[in-house]
Amino acid sequence: MSGVRVLAGTHKGAFVLTSDGRRKNWKIAGPFFAGWPVYHMKGSPADPRRIYASPTSDWFGQQVQRSDDGGKTWTQVNNKFVYDGETGTHQWYDGKPHPWEFKRVWHLEPHPANPDVVYAGVEDAALFRSDDGGQNWRELSGLRRHSTGRRWQPGAGGMCLHTILLDPKNPRRIVIAISAAGAFRSDDGGETWTPINRGLYSKYLPDPTAEVGHCVHHVAMHASRPDTLFMQKHWDVMRSDNAGGQWTEVSGNLPTDFGFVIDVHAHQPETVYVVPIKSDVEHYPLDGKLRVWRSRSGGNQWQELKRGLPDRDCYVNVLRDAMAVDQLDDCGIYFGTTGGQVYVSPDGGDHWQAITHDLPKVLSIEVQTLASPRAKRAAPPARKPQPKPKRASARSR
């Protein structure tokens, strides 16, 4: 029978939530790595038994853990990280005079076809790759050595590399995003990188249209149309139809275009989801009403989704890696909150229900579909975003 496995990284450990294809009754296992913040955990698309997780500790440093049985048991796999040709540290401090040390792993991205290949985005911003299931790592140092690197600045959460997108149609293409540097693309497997921030406008920068320095919160794409990217920026929801070569604002009729998450429906590449919050200071929903907004036209025209979500006195946030979708026929949408709630909509956003209310602060949500996904359908023809309704310009905020 079909089913799903929801992987929740939280401030005090990791949890594995499972259900059948109806997604109504849930079993919760955990906490794994109890008491440790787990910034991200993600399963391999190539092997449903394989999961990677990134627990971290102020005392014991950063680990990468791997499960080969769907999260039942875990093994610490990272023995060494290599950067600049040296064996590096992945701890806060180990007493050795290394020229550069990173603080934590923000994002793990398994390869879509090979469960032993996995990428790690870290803080301070750098990208690593392992080809042996997490045992050994090498830095793709062309990114950190980019000529614009001296102009990168940390966002409020640190200078984190939080988004890694692997193009399923072009194995040499990688898209990443850094807060607060912007988005970058490699077309040669990570050796060289190009900033892809044209069209972004950030009023807090000395040059609001600068090549780098933009605070990008998250980037998403659909596997069938990898040249189309959707971005939730510090302010503004953006879209690119040429792999980041040029961005266009598609915030449209959203009540606010500040938020952290953005994701795309599993089978409808023009259906996009965001969770708007009040502002860059007030990180909670408008009027205390938790809402997801959906666009079925790739942006500009947005619909409020609220059935089953709190309608009053809700002041949680949804962090950048805390939304995901499954691959079942009736695509399920999932998100977790800083209040410890995890929600699911088994019908693409029309109706919501809480899986649990009582986890620690949720840092990330990912989903493994425990069934063969539907037969591939031809993607519908690309639709250009419709004319944007009148709204206050991002430049005036």
Domains of the chain: 3-396 (2.130.10.10)
- In a 10 Å sphere around its CB, with 0-12 CB exposed, 13-18 middle and 19+ buried, how is residue 172 labelled? exposed
Q: Distance (Å, rounded) from C-alpha 24 to C-alpha 354? A: 9
Q: Distance (Å, rounded) from C-alpha 197 to C-alpha 114? A: 30
Hey, what are 254's tokens? 């959203």
Question: Is 47 in contact with 103 (CB distance < 8 Å)?
Answer: no
Q: Distance (Å, rounded) from C-alpha 16 to C-alpha 231? A: 28
Q: What is the pLDDT of residue 85?
A: 47
Cα–Cα distances in angstroms (integers) from residue 383 to residues 64, 228, 242, 304, 348, in the given order: 41, 11, 14, 21, 20
Q: Which helix (H) or strand (E) holds 160?
A: strand 160-166
Question: Is 165 in contact with 221 (CB distance < 8 Å)?
Answer: yes
Mean pLDDT, the chain cut into blocks of 10 residues (397 residues total)? 92 97 95 96 96 90 92 84 49 42 89 96 93 92 92 88 96 96 97 97 94 97 97 97 98 97 98 97 96 97 98 97 96 98 97 97 97 47 51 43
Q: Distance (Å, rounded) from C-alpha 25 to C-alpha 40? A: 24
Q: What is the pLDDT of residue 1?
A: 58
Q: What is the pLDDT of residue 397?
A: 40
Contacts of 129 (CB under 8 A, 6+ apart): 117, 118, 119, 120, 137, 138, 140, 190
